[in-house]
Structure 1
Amino acid sequence: MSGWINTALFGVYPYICLSVLLVGSLIRFDYGAYTWKSDSSQLLRRDRLRLGSNLFHYGVLIVIGGHFVGFLMPDWAISWLISPAQHELLAMGVGGLAGAIAIIGLTILIHRRLTDPRIRHNSRAWDVAIVLMLWCQLALGLLTVPISAEHMGGGVFEQLVTYVKGVVTFQPDVARLLKGTPLIYRVHILLGFTIFLVSPFTRMIHIWSAPVWYLGRRGYQIVRTRHPAPSVVRETRQ
């Protein structure tokens, strides 16, 4: 890959994607607040939704969390805890298992969306496109596991970690850090940034509204039942 193409794809394109993600999300929140939702198809049919959704979300949250911790943790903290080889092995084990769970759940959701006539009819083109992009991204991530197993010294993994940190910290000529890495890693990175790019225009926008406050909420949840209380029934019969 020539130098200018490598720079454009891995030195410029990531910042375009992240800028569109941030600015596009703010614009949508301001001008399209009523479209800020995941567009759940639960009301159309619940069949397979709970299983597929739970598997996908639990798995992908671990994958995303692992990426943030593994790639953005300070070097001194990682060196103090584990060696580069152990770091790579941990990423392969936890990431591979979580990715497998996520892709199984997403496969169930895609099959449900494409084969159920009601859901398929009510799905926009971007609804299908974004889940297929996510599936491909998970598949690419799983395919990197056997490639990583061939480079257990940690050298290639350290290149990737340094690249991600370089993008976040605006290091100059960061694209050169990916030279010599296997192609599948670079495709995985490009597709990941592309998902960031299109997220403000799709149902993926709801990732900004993850209800983390739910875990520490105070008070009780008020639930209203559809059926009248027994005392009300007796009074009605009288």
Structure 2
Amino acid sequence: MASPSHHELSFVHLLTGERFRLPHPPSPFCRLLLSGNLVLAFVPTVGRAVQYCRLGDIEWRVASCTEPYVLEDLIFHKGNLHALVRSEDAGSLCYRLAVANLSDKNLVEFKFLGDHLESQAAHGSLYFFLAECLDELLLIAAVGGFPEKFHVFRWQSREGKWTRTTSLGDCTLFLTYFYFVGYVVPMKGMTCFSGYFFASCLGPDHPGVRRDCLYFTDAKRKWIEYSLADGSCDEFVADNLEGASRPDSDFRAPVWVFPSMC
């Protein structure tokens, strides 16, 4: 995906060369989700609105959450749009999983699932994002920086709660770095933050990667291997690991490409 101007988004399939274009979303965003012919654009962690557009549409629509809910993250899982929703309850932050519906009334409607995340996990984390592995829904918590550390929780649908795990079933998760500067409701003034979001999962039959690990990149030409089993974090420098620069800065965000999954 590329945004050569503020007038359109251009999508290119890296292997087949297939292309399609959409008008540029009217409001700032730093995450895009694609499912079938539906594209979502939003700002995780601080935003209350989701911009969405279908292939062939000439304009975007906007669906917003009602107060006090904020969208921590979104993911398509088993055909449904799931949301990690944050609110404030009695002065403390509350995180709940929900199935989200973009209604014709320009609202994001939630069907909440189970209980909220335990307060100990919520207070010890910088931010959260959703992922999936082996058809299971995961919640990843960033609990430290420099070097980064993560906790992983697995959704137990029968019990309706998150339980922490140090195993990915011998699979490997890949994360992508994001950086956002802009104005977004309900924040006041300019907002600037960075973090990671889920990119993909590889099964245990892929050589060259460690099992039960998280791989992620940053803006310093390196990729990092974080082990859930023992919490170790190894950094690897690659001279050719460099993404496209932003027009307003020298920031470069490398991304993962998975040819076998395209």
Which of the five TM-score ranges fits, normalised by the shorter chain? under 0.3
Larger-Rg structure: 1
- Relative contact order: is structure 1 or structure 2 higher (C-alpha 8 Å, sep ≥ 6)? 1
Q: TM-score, normalised by structure 1?
A: 0.27
Structure with a larger share of its residues in helix = 1
